[in-house]
């Protein structure tokens, strides 16, 4: 049986093969963010067709260095200076688990860089009127995403909103919340 996850990926990918100016702008901004905040070694989870590459690139479906899902990274704890998750959380089965895995493989002083669309008013209205077959979920409000990050153990250092046509996108830079007195 084809799961909801498989169905959303196949629809999403056929549409994603046509690279538009819109996509190129987003990739350019992802690269700028990574250049500014990235620390080696870097990991890109759900790297997909994106030309923005890290030292290790992981994707379950498209060509990459490692074929794996973000919910279960075949990597050791605390090895990466940067973990990037660009436009992936709305495509995965369990977004909270992907964030927890990103947190696990990030070094104590590492940075987590997230790019994620959080719907603006037009997006919310569109969603009321259409059945979306391309995504597992949508984020309607910033606080939903911030709460997920906090629950996965991240502290948000920077929260930047960018608009691409009518689409509202969040770029977040987060560090690991360190728990003292537990070891």
Task: Point out which residues bind ligand SAM (CB under 6 A).
Answer: 9, 30, 45-48, 50, 59-62, 69-71, 86-88, 91-93
- Residue 49 or 155: the one with the smaller Cβ distance to ligand SAM is 49
Work out how close the CB of 147 gets to ligand SAM at its nearest, in angstroms, rounded to a whole number: 20
Judged by beta carbon, residue 9 or residue 42, the one nearer ligand SAM is 9
CB of 99 to ligand SAM, least distance (A): 11
Q: Where are the alpha helices (DSSP H) in the chain?
A: 4-16, 21-37, 95-105, 121-129, 142-151
Structure tokens at 93: 């089965």
| Distance in Å, CB of 73 to ligand SAM, minimum | 9
Q: Nearest residue to ligand SAM, using CB?
A: 48
Q: How many CB atoms are closer than 10 A to CB 47?
A: 24
**Overall size of the chain counted in residues:** 183
Task: Considering the complex, state which of residue 51 and residue 157 has its C-beta at the smaller distance from ligand SAM.
Answer: 51
Structural tokens at position 42: 């870097």
The C-alpha atoms of residue 85 and residue 152 are separated, in whole angstroms, by: 14
CA proximity to 88, closest of 125, 62, 120: 62
Q: Which is nearer to ligand SAM, 11 or 140 (CB)?
A: 11
59 forms beta bridges with none
> Min. distance of Cβ 183 from ligand SAM in angstroms?
30
């Amino acid at each position: 049986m084809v799961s909801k996850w498989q169905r959303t990926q196949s629809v999403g990918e056929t549409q994603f093969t046509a690279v538009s100016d819109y996509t190129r702008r987003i990739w350019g901004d992802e690269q700028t963010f990574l250049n500014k905040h990235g620390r080696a070694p870097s990991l890109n989870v759900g790297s997909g067709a994106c030309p923005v590459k890290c030292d290790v690139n992981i994707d379950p479906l498209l060509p990459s260095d490692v074929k794996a899902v973000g919910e279960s990274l075949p990597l050791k704890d605390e090895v990466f200076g940067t973990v990037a998750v660009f436009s992936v959380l709305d495509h995965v089965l369990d977004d909270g688990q992907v964030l927890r895995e990103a947190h696990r493989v990030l070094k104590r002083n590492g940075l987590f860089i997230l790019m994620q669309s959080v719907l603006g008013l037009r997006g919310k209205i569109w969603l009321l009127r259409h059945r979306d077959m391309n995504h597992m979920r949508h984020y309607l409000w910033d606080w939903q995403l911030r709460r997920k990050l906090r629950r996965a153990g991240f502290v948000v250092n920077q929260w930047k909103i960018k608009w691409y046509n009518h689409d509202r996108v969040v770029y977040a830079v987060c560090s690991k919340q360190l728990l003292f007195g537990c070891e």
